[in-house]
Structure formats: C-alpha cells, structure tokens
Amino acid sequence: MEVTNKYVTLKTHVEGAPKESDFELKTSLLALSLDLGSGEMILNRMKRYSSSQRTGPGFEGITLGMEIEAYGVAKVVVSDNVEFQKGDVVVGVITWAEYSKIRRNKMIRKLDPLGFPFSYHVGILGYSGLTAYAGFFEICKPKRGEKVLVSAASGSVGNLVGQYAKLHGCYVVGCAGSKQKSFFLRLFLSIDRYFPDGIDIYFDNVGAEMQEAAVANMNTFGRVAVCGVIPEYIDSEKKAAPDVLDVIYKRIKIQGFLAGDHVGLFQDFVSTTSNHLHSGELCPLEDISDGLDSIPFAFTGLFRGDNIGKKIVKIAEE
C-alpha cells in the first residue's frame, strides 16, 4: 500500500533569519511497507515541534531537499521495530512531513498522554518544558526569594521558566518582544526599580549585550543559564562580553546547556509539572497553527517574534 506524503524541505542554506521562500513543500509516494529486520517504523505525524534543532543530541544536520527533523507526536502506521506496534502513539524526533520513516535507535518513545492533550507533550510536558525545568532547577539551583530575570519571557521556554520561578517563591522579571532590548539597556540605568536587591539568576534566551547587562547587575554567586533550545532568538553576530572582573569577584557561573543532557530528570519533571497542571498552578501557553502547509510561515514567525508561548503545528487529527 502506498500513501501520498507531503513534507517540508529546505531549498537553500539559510543565512540569518529564514524566510518562507527558503522552504518548499514536496509530495512523494511512500510505500507503507518496510524491509524485514530493518527496525524501521513509519509514523503518521499528529503534532510537531516548532523549531529544528541543528546540533542537539538525537538530531541530524539538514540536507537540502530532504525532510527536516523536528520534535513531534505521531501514530505508528507500520513497524518492524518490536518495541512499537501499529497504532501506538509516540513522541520524539520525527520529520516535517505527514509520514516519517524512522530508523532504529532514533529518539522516539511511546507516549502516555496522562490525560492531557497531545499538544502538551510537545510543549509544557515535552522538550520545552524539560529545557525550562532542567535549566532553571538544575543549572540555576534557585533558592526561595531569589531574584530572577528571564529574557524572551513570552517564548516557549521563557514563559515556563517564569512560571516555575514564581511557584518556587522567587521574584521574577521577564522581558520579551521589541521592548526587550530597551529594557536591558535600561537595566544599567534603572536597576533600582526592577531589581533593588540585584539579580541572582538570569535565564538567558537571547545572548548578546543583554547578557552583559544582566551580569553587570548580578549579585555575588549569580548564575546565568544560557538556553539552547531557542537559538533563533540569538543574534550570532552579536556577542556577549560580560566584564571578567564581575565574573571573578561576583563568582558568576555562565553555563550553556541542552535539555537532552538532563533526561535523567524527565520523570521528576513530568510528575511535578503534571501535578501543577492538574492543580491549575501552571498554565500552558500555546500558539497552534493548522496543517503542514503552515510550517514555513510558523517557523519563520519564530524569528519575527510572532509566537506567544509554544509554537505548534497540527498536521492531523487523532
């Protein structure tokens, strides 16, 4: 049996922010059969994650004209992998396509929805959530009452860091959107207003001179978590150059991280976050588009700052 498979490819390697015209929607026929012993699976995508991870663990580089990998929820259509049966709902690294052919050993696991919508599992209960959770609790090691600054605070990770920080009893200031840069410039001038007691933790989603401003206003033993799930916020031309004497005398830690290194926290993260969701203390912030065709616009929108919360594209109904 064959199906028509629509997928999104990259036409050209992107310099700077990607444009919709960099992408192309392709269609091919896909045989719903696999070589015996191949360990492969074919998945039917249901939801997908917003951004491609170029160098994260489990992800591969993008080849022009080929399908693009991303995090999503899908249903198994055909499987030669004994761990997965037809009809299983899975979550992990699939592709920007209606159907994904998945090799053995790819980062895919069966999904127990825990009573929540699938969209939660690509956002607040997925990689974005783990990024916020691991970055805030593991990298920043917050203490109750500490003062926390979050950049890109309306983004998929930033909004969750802000919520976790408040639940943890921290004082939180978030900044986002077009006013973000002016906020950071003002930090030098009006630290007394936003942080009369200085900053203890900066959850850095943007890099550049904003990291400098945060470090300059930090307290002794301040921590900067440099977040690796949304590099699209980061202008790689502009570099962060915090004052070295600040770093030394305030014993500041600046730590890059990827959530993939903290999968050991996953069970703890899911149970804590589920409980907060059930009690209504945590609120998912989702921005959902419809249909595979909307991917290029949705993806490039991340660079325009279009999204509020987690950008998700819904490809098919359950």
Q: Does 244 bind a second copy (CB under 8 A)?
A: yes
Q: Under the criterion CB under 8 A, does residue 198 sit at the interface with a second copy?
A: no
Q: For a second copy, which is the closer residue by CB, 177 or 256? A: 256
Angle between helices 208-216 and 180-194 (to 10 degrees): 10
Q: Which of 249, 271, 291, 318 binds a second copy (CB under 8 A)?
A: 249
Tokens of 245: 């004497």
CA distance 253 to 265: 21
What tokens does 75 get?
């249903």
Judged by beta carbon, residue 258 or residue 312, the one nearer a second copy is 258
With CB under 8 A as the contact rule, the residue among 39, 242, 296, 309 that binds a second copy is 242
Applying CB under 8 A, among 25, 107, 173, 254 the residue interacting with a second copy is 254
Q: Is 207 in the site for a second copy (CB under 8 A)?
A: yes
Strand, helix or coil for residue 172:
strand
Binding of a second copy by 188 (CB under 8 A): no
Taking the least distance from each CB to a second copy, the nearer of 142 and 242 is: 242
Nearer of residues 190 and 255 to a second copy, judged by Cβ: 255
CA dist 287 and 106 (Å) reads 27
Among 141, 193, 251, 278, binds a second copy (CB under 8 A): 251
Q: Determine, following the binding rule CB under 8 A, whether residue 239 of this chain makes contact with a second copy.
A: yes
As a whole number of Å, the end-to-end CA separation of the chain is 21
Assess 252 for contact with a second copy (CB under 8 A).
yes
248 binds a second copy per the rule CB under 8 A: yes
Angle at 303 between CA 300 and CA 305, to 5 degrees: 110
In the complex, what is the shortest distance from the CB of residue 61 to a second copy, in angstroms, rounded to a whole number? 13
Shortest Cβ 282–a second copy spacing (Å): 25
CB 134 within 8 A of CB 265: yes
| In contact, 261 and 130? CB cutoff 8 Å | no
Question: Largest Cα–Cα distance in the chain?
Answer: 67
55, 85, 182, 271: which one contacts a second copy (CB under 8 A)? Answer: 55
Count of chain residues binding a second copy (CB under 8 A):
33
Cβ-proximal residues to 19 (8 Å cutoff; 6+ apart), any chain: 300
- According to DSSP, the residues that pair with 30 across neighbouring strands are 3
Give SS3 for 277: helix
Please, which residue, 102 or 259, has the CB nearer to a second copy?
259
**Contact range with a second copy by CB under 8 A, out of 19-27, 143-151, 234-242, 264-272:** 234-242
**CB nearer a second copy, residue 22 or residue 138:** 138
SS (H, E, C) 238-260: CCCCCCHHHHHHCCCEEEEECHH
Distance CA 48, CA 289 (A): 10
Window of 154-162, 181-189, 231-239, 309-317 that interacts with a second copy by CB under 8 A: 231-239
Stretch that binds a second copy, among 93-101, 151-159, 186-194, 240-248 (CB under 8 A): 240-248
Q: Of residues 41, 77, 226, 298, which one binds a second copy by CB under 8 A?
A: 226
Three-point CA angle 119, 255, 198, nearest 5°: 95
Nearest CB to a second copy, comparing residues 169 and 256: 256
Cβ closest to a second copy, residue 49 vs residue 84? 49
> Could you give the CA distance from residue 140 to residue 4 in angstroms, rounded to a whole number?
47
Tokens of 124: 């607040």
**Alpha-carbon gap, residue 126 to 143, rounded angstroms:** 25
Judged by the rule CB under 8 A, the positions of this chain that interact with a second copy are 55-56, 207-208, 211-212, 226-228, 231, 234, 236, 239-258, 261
